Amino acid sequence: MNELIEKDLKYVWHPCSQMKDYETLPPVIIKRGKGIYLYDIFGKKYMDVISSWWCNLLGHCNENISNAIKEQLDNLEHIIFANFSHEPAIKLCEELLKILPKGLVKFNFSDNGSASVECALKMSLQYQYQTGNTKKIKFMCLSEGYHGETIGALSVGGLDLYSKIYKPMLMNGIIRIDAPDCYRCPYGKSRDCCNAECFCKAEQAFEDFADETCAIIVEPLLQGSAGMRIYPPVYLKKLREICDQSNVILIADEIATGFGRTGQMFACDHAKISPDIMCLSKGLTGGYMPMSITVTSQKIFDAFYDDYSKGKAFMHSHTYSGNPLGCSAALAVQKILREQNILENARKTAMYLHERLNEVFENYPNVGEIRHIGLINAIELVKDKKTKKPFDPKLRIGYQIYKKALNLGLILRPLGDVIYFNPPLNITKSEVNEAVELCRKSVDSVL
């Protein structure tokens, strides 16, 4: 075995992994990346169609982003962000203001997605407290939701796989609403033309608990970790209305969906709504630096603004808040999105990718649904197409396909038995062809 692999296995505890699996599938040690391709130490190349956990927005080692970071590095690497500031952070706020849904105007920086969610939850509770709503201390969220791995974020998540064992540590008072399940819609509707009949579950929860609820957090339109479950904008519209009626803060977790992933700049744009708080990370820096921002409305900010002695300040910080390298990367990303017609081209490639996947997989016996939003395309594999019965999880069908695809040079990393594409926005049509063909071969060889 290669020395680096041996040492990796000796020292590293990899994220979200059963390390015993590494006995038969050792880590792939990547030496360099360019565009959609990663190259390992043996020179083998892999197509990164999952954007390295959905963060790589514009390909690896993009010259403009790399240069922006390098230039910043020679001027200022990092400073305390309390009472100090720097031009890249200020400019970034200005740029984001131009593209964010209306009304989101104040920017609180952290260093990863989960931290941004924690920040949003704490802000919501404190906002309600400081505006006289001291009874509003609970949170609502959707079943099957995912908001990160820290305790607050896990508490408002709905995926047992990540949270079950930690239940004794998690927050009380979480009201979980049955999320839309469009593939297995209990109302027999289709997401393209329904009126979000399933929203009655949310209405019931609001009727029962809105008086005690400070905020609801959702992944707008796309429940990524749940298997790229997609639901219609009308659900979000209804949610915005009911939040307004009952003074419940709407937190949109756009960590996975932001910056063009769903075909619009933000998933909220499909529904033409502005949340009260939005969490951003991943694509924010193009996946080059760990950074997140919790963006809020003026109204929320104002509830914290007073004489120091009133004790209303948001006493929340992270050492790396507002890191200048992250801000410079994010500024470079904004420039590319602005100047290179990325979203418009991505929309065209998205249609092409979906057509190609349909051609190959539509009549495939075990393909239950090929759902898509923006460039994100997910193929849900089922044992029985008619009844939509899933495979026995013990078979680990998705994992078998993942291993096969890796062998062929494609990174698919499925969510259970859902295999998906979430490639950089600037993937080309010929790369799409290559990836779809490798995907077909991998699925064929396992099923």
Ligand X SMILES: Cc1ncc(COP(=O)(O)O)c(C=O)c1O
- Please report how close the Cβ of residue 40 comes to ligand X at its closest, in angstroms: 24
- Tell which residue, 253, 256, 257, 320, has the closest CA to residue 289: 320
Interface pick for ligand X out of 101, 113, 158, 424 (rule CB under 6 A)? 113
- Please report how close the Cβ of residue 219 comes to ligand X at its closest, in angstroms: 5
Distance CA 403, CA 160 (A): 24
Phi and psi at 76, nearest 5°, equal -160, 120
Q: Which is nearer to ligand X, 110 or 130 (CB)?
A: 110
417 binds ligand X (CB under 6 A): no
Which CA distances in Å does 19 have to 14, 25, 415?
A: 7, 10, 18
Residue pair 426/381 in contact by the 8 Å Cβ criterion: no
The site map against ligand X for 67-106 (x = CB under 6 A) is: ----------------------------------------
Q: How many CB atoms lie within 10 A of CB 176?
A: 17
- Please report how close the Cβ of residue 24 comes to ligand X at its closest, in angstroms: 26
- Please report how close the Cβ of residue 341 comes to ligand X at its closest, in angstroms: 26
155 binds ligand X (CB under 6 A): no
Tokens (6 digits) for 421: 């594409």
Q: Which is nearer to ligand X, 265 or 382 (CB)?
A: 265
- Please report how close the Cβ of residue 116 comes to ligand X at its closest, in angstroms: 8
The site map against ligand X for 174-213 (x = CB under 6 A) is: ----------------------------------------
Residue pair 297/287 in contact by the 8 Å Cβ criterion: no
Interface pick for ligand X out of 106, 136, 138, 147 (rule CB under 6 A)? 147
Q: Which is nearer to ligand X, 293 or 438 (CB)?
A: 293
Shortest-Cβ-distance residue relative to ligand X: 113
Longest CA pairwise span in the chain (Å): 67
262 binds ligand X (CB under 6 A): no
- Tell which residue, 447, 256, 428, 406, has the closest CA to residue 350: 428
If binding means CB under 6 A, how many residues of this protein chain bind ligand X?
14
154 binds ligand X (CB under 6 A): no
Residue environment code for 84-113, b if the CB has 16+ CB neighbours within 10 A, otherwise e = eebebbeebbebbeeebbeebbbbbbbbbb
Question: Using CB under 6 A as the criterion, which residues of the chain lie in contact with ligand X when the complex forms?
Answer: 112-114, 117, 146-148, 219, 224-225, 253, 255-256, 281
